[in-house]
């Protein structure tokens, strides 16, 4: 009984203490605490830095930032906020429901202003500033916005910006990325986002219950992103894209000795500005387009290389002493391999190696390939960089496909036949390569035996980030054999009957190889891979037209590009020595 009385008194005492505490807070000191809360509210005002610029090899700015203005509203009294949103909608001609939705989605904390309208122009920003006393809690904040100065030029090199997605956020959260961050997608913007990205600063301000500033509590200045310098020549890039036009395909120009990409174009392309301006219909059309304009065909798509692969087969046969420069076969327009006929595109008659390369004679290379065998062709193709990444410094490079007898047995559970070797020897069958891989392959002939590492980044904040790891490898190839194939590549253009003769008479001597790669059910793919000038500092060029027909058409595009480049450089950078 006594224990129950003690417990009862104890409970009563606790309730009395709670009641007294509430009375003390709300009645005796309530007014004082209310005043402190109203006068002691902390607001955080973010300030954004500028994303790093992207410039070409000569310092020309390709991507910069322009000043835009965002409309923010302070979380505050609900009635006051609703009034401000209604007035904002009327002044900016924006639906009130959209403003309300933007406020709900953007609300993070009562201390952080919420962005309700982005990217208004200067005149509207001034008008709102003049009416700020009629719009309590509304702020105008300057905001650097990405500006692609040349629109869609070099779009696949540059990439675009958009709000971070869930997949990227899970990978980058530990590096300071957070929900609703604007990050790079594709190209330089994605691969080097960490360097280009600005660091946000801001003000910490004490405000009263009306949102008026009482005092500045702290300030952290924003940090701008680092500038990225590319190896591309802006003017050459413009020439390449203009001449490629609306044709589906890609063009790559590369320094044969250093691996620096001078120009890289892929068509169709896109304008990165549509992502900045949030043109939803245009963005939707890009993703739905069956021609895949967001894909960089130079590195992210692989195709059968066709006859441009014959340069590797010719060199392999010379190295393995299966043929020499005088070895001659008679082309009768077809070859019987087993019980199947393999056709040549023409009837060439007697062909030595030089003529076979110049005329792109399938018959000669069927017979040469059969002498080598599938494994030998595979080994030399791998040595030239096919079937693996080039080490290029942008994301989403594919490795292509380099078949072999072992690969066919393991992946298709089938035996390798002589017919497979015949197809392989002219760059058909299962073989797939990217335009960049074939550019790198041709560079070996242009620079006398070095397999270079293609790259497009020259420096970040003035420093080359990969100079210590980038390597050029000297292939174990006899210079005499290399010169025999080079002479054949020269004859492709110099001989009146050469498949690339349209490239003669340009003022610089061009060497290379054409290719017409069958790709049913559509037209064949058109290839030209070569270099110019024949002597002196060399530029390697690959022109690829997806379902563009015979290789002749890629030579026509190459001729137009080289002609314009010669005019631009006044026969300086690419002049014969």
Classified by CATH at the fold level, domain 43-230 comes out as: Penicillin-binding protein 2a (Domain 2) (3.90.1310)
44 to each of 114, 115, 119, 138, 143, how far by Cα in Å? 11, 13, 21, 14, 16
**Mean pLDDT throughout 561-566?**
94
Element (H, E) at 483: helix 479-494
DSSP string, 294-317: TS-TTTS--B--GGGGHHHHHHHH
- CA 226/CA 221 separation, integer angstroms: 16
Over the stretch 306-317, which tens digit does the pLDDT of each residue have?
Answer: 999 999 999 999
End-to-end CA distance of the chain: 116
Between 399 and 36, the more confident residue is 399
Over the stretch 51-97, which tens digit does the pLDDT of each residue have?
Answer: 999 999 999 999 999 988 888 887 666 667 777 787 887 788 788 78
pLDDT tops 90 at residue 347: yes
Question: What was the pLDDT predicted at 231?
Answer: 97
Helix or strand or coil: residue 485?
helix
> Any idea what the Cα angle at residue 389 is, between residues 555 and 484, rounded to 5°?
50
pLDDT tops 70 at residue 461: yes
Helix or strand or coil: residue 516?
strand
Q: Is the dihedral of CA 540, 543, 549, 553 positive or negative?
A: negative
Question: What was the pLDDT predicted at 117?
Answer: 82
Q: Answer yes or no: are the C-beta atoms of 394 and 157 closer than 8 Å.
A: yes
Least confident of 39-48, 215-224, 288-297: 39-48
pLDDT tops 80 at residue 567: yes
Between 78 and 539, the more confident residue is 539
**Mean pLDDT throughout 445-472?**
88
Sequence-distant (6+) residues with CB within 8 A of 497 are 358, 359
Question: What was the pLDDT predicted at 95?
Answer: 83
pLDDT band at 576 (very low <50, low <70, confident <90, very high): very low
**Mean pLDDT throughout 331-337?**
95
- CA 76/CA 138 separation, integer angstroms: 11
pLDDT tops 90 at residue 536: no
DSSP symbol at 260: B
Residue written as token pair 């991507």: 63
Sequence-distant (6+) residues with CB within 8 A of 243 are 251, 557, 560, 561, 564
Q: Answer yes or no: are the C-beta atoms of 377 and 369 closer than 8 Å.
A: yes
Question: What was the pLDDT predicted at 206?
Answer: 65
DSSP symbol at 544: E
Classified by CATH at the fold level, domain 234-273+296-569 comes out as: Beta-lactamase (3.40.710)
Q: Tabulate helix, strand, coil % of the chain (nearest 5).
A: 40, 25, 35
pLDDT tops 80 at residue 434: yes
- CA 269/CA 286 separation, integer angstroms: 9
Most confident option among 302-306, 516-520, 534-538: 302-306
Question: What was the pLDDT predicted at 36?
Answer: 47
The number of residues in the chain equals 577
Say what angle helices 374-383 and 310-319 make with each other, to 10 degrees. 110
Give the residue from 570, 559, 544 showing the smallest Cα distance to 264.
Answer: 544
pLDDT tops 70 at residue 541: yes
Distance of CA 388 to the CA centre of its chain: 19
Over the stretch 362-376, which tens digit does the pLDDT of each residue have?
Answer: 999 999 999 999 999
What percent of the chain is modeled with pLDDT above 70? 86
- CA 122/CA 124 separation, integer angstroms: 6
Domain boundaries of the chain, sorted by first residue: 2-39, 43-230, 234-273+296-569
Q: Beta strands 138-148 and 61-73: pairing type?
A: antiparallel
Over the stretch 197-226, which tens digit does the pLDDT of each residue have?
Answer: 988 776 666 666 555 556 666 667 778 999
**Mean pLDDT throughout 137-154?**
89
Q: Answer yes or no: are the C-beta atoms of 64 and 149 closer than 8 Å.
A: yes
pLDDT band at 43 (very low <50, low <70, confident <90, very high): low
DSSP symbol at 65: E
Helix or strand or coil: residue 149?
coil
pLDDT tops 50 at residue 38: no
DSSP string, 312-346: HHHHHHHHTTS--TT--EEE-SEEEETTEEEE-SS
pLDDT band at 572 (very low <50, low <70, confident <90, very high): very low
Q: At 102, give phi and psi (nearest 5°).
A: -60, -35
Between 249 and 34, the more confident residue is 249
**Mean pLDDT throughout 405-432?**
97
Q: Answer yes or no: are the C-beta atoms of 183 and 168 closer than 8 Å.
A: yes
Question: What was the pLDDT predicted at 76?
Answer: 64
């Amino acid at each position: 009984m006594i224990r129950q009385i003690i417990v009862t008194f104890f409970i009563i005492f606790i309730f009395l203490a709670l009641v007294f505490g509430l009375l003390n807070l709300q009645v005796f000191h309530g007014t004082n605490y209310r005043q402190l809360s109203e006068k002691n509210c902390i607001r955080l005002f973010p300030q954004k830095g500028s994303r790093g610029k992207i410039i070409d090899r000569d310092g020309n700015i390709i991507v910069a930032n322009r000043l835009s203005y965002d409309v923010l509203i302070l979380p505050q009294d609900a009635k006051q906020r609703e009034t401000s949103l209604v007035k904002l909608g009327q002044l900016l001609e924006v639906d009130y429901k959209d403003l309300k939705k933007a406020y709900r989605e953007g609300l993070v904390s009562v201390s952080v202003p919420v962005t309700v309208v982005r990217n208004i122009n200067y005149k509207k920003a001034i008008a709102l500033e003049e009416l700020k006393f009629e719009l309590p809690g509304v702020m105008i904040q300057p905001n650097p916005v990405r500006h692609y100065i040349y629109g869609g030029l070099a779009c696949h090199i540059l990439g675009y910006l958009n709000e971070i997605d869930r997949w990227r956020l899970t990978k980058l959260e530990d590096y300071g990325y957070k929900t609703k961050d604007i990050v790079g997608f594709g190209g330089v913007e994605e691969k080097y986002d960490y360097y280009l990205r600005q660091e946000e600063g801001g003000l910490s301000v004490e405000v009263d219950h009306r949102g008026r500033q009482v005092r500045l509590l702290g300030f952290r200045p924003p940090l701008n992103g680092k500038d990225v310098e590319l190896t591309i020549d802006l003017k050459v890039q413009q020439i390449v894209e203009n001449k490629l036009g609306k044709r589906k395909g890609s063009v790559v120009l590369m320094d044969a000795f250093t691996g620096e990409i001078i120009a890289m174009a892929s068509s169709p392309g896109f304008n990165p500005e549509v992502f900045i301006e949030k043109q939803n219909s245009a963005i939707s059309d890009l993703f739905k387009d069956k021609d895949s304009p967001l894909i960089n065909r130079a590195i992210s798509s692989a195709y059968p290389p066709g006859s441009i692969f014959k340069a590797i087969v010719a060199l392999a046969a010379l190295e393995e002493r299966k043929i020499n420069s005088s070895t001659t076969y008679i082309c009768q327009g077809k070859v019987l391999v087993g019980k199947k006929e393999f056709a040549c595109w023409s009837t060439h008659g007697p062909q030595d190696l030089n003529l076979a390369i110049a005329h792109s004679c399938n018959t000669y290379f069927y017979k040469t390939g059969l002498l080598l065998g599938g494994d030998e062709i595979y080994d030399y193709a791998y040595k030239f960089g096919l079937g693996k990444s080039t080490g290029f410094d942008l994301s989403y490079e594919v490795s292509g496909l380099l078949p072999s007898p072992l690969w066919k047995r393991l992946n298709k559970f089938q035996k390798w036949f002589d017919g497979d070797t015949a197809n392989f020897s002219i760059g058909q069958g299962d073989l797939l390569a990217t335009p960049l891989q074939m550019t790198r392959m041709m560079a070996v002939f242009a620079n006398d035996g070095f397999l270079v590492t293609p790259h497009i980044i020259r420096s970040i904040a003035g420093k080359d980030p990969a100079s210590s790891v980038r390597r050029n490898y000297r292939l174990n190839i006899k210079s005499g054999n290399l010169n025999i194939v080079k002479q054949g590549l020269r004859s492709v253009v110099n001989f009146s009957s050469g498949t690339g003769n349209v490239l003669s008479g340009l003022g610089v001597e061009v060497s290379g190889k054409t290719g017409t790669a069958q790709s049913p059910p559509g037209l064949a793919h058109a290839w030209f891979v070569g270099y110019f000038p024949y002597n002196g500092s060399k530029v390697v060029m690959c022109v690829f037209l997806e379902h563009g027909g015979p290789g002749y058409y890629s030579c026509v595009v190459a001729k137009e590009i080289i002609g314009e480049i010669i005019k631009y450089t006044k026969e300086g950078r690419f002049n014969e020595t």
